Amino acid sequence: MILARIAGTVVATRKDPRLEGKTLLICQLIGAGGEDEKGYVIAVDTVNAGYREKVLIVQGSSARMASGCKDTPVDAAIVGIVDHVEQDT
């Protein structure tokens, strides 16, 4: 699983019917210290994350196990809002 920061939303009127009602968010990848890393993913939100919040994203077929994503065409889902990251020095 990876850490990311919400950078925006995606609006799509025509989409797979199984994605209707789901929020698609643009997520900037970040490192453990909160610094931006190269790349971003579009992920389905299952925890009501807000703009600029740090989130935890599950990728691959496991994303379909997230709440409300069963049998949906999804390969990245936001499954947690990060309070803080404790790093050992």
Partner 1 sequence: MYLGKVIGNVVCSAKDDALVGIRLMLVERVYGGGTVVALDAVGAGPGETVYVCRGKEASFAFKGREVPTEATIVGIVDP
Q: Which residues bind partner 1 (CB under 8 A)?
A: 1-3, 31-32, 46-48, 56, 58-63, 65-67, 69, 77, 79-88
Shortest gap between Cβ of 11 and partner 1 (angstroms)? 24
Distances in whole angstroms, Cα of residue 15 to Cα of each of 9, 11, 20, 46, 64: 15, 10, 7, 18, 17
Q: Phi and psi (nearest 5°) for 6?
A: -70, 125
Q: Which of 11, 19 has the CB closer to partner 1?
A: 19
Minimum gap (Å) between residue 42 Cβ and partner 1: 17
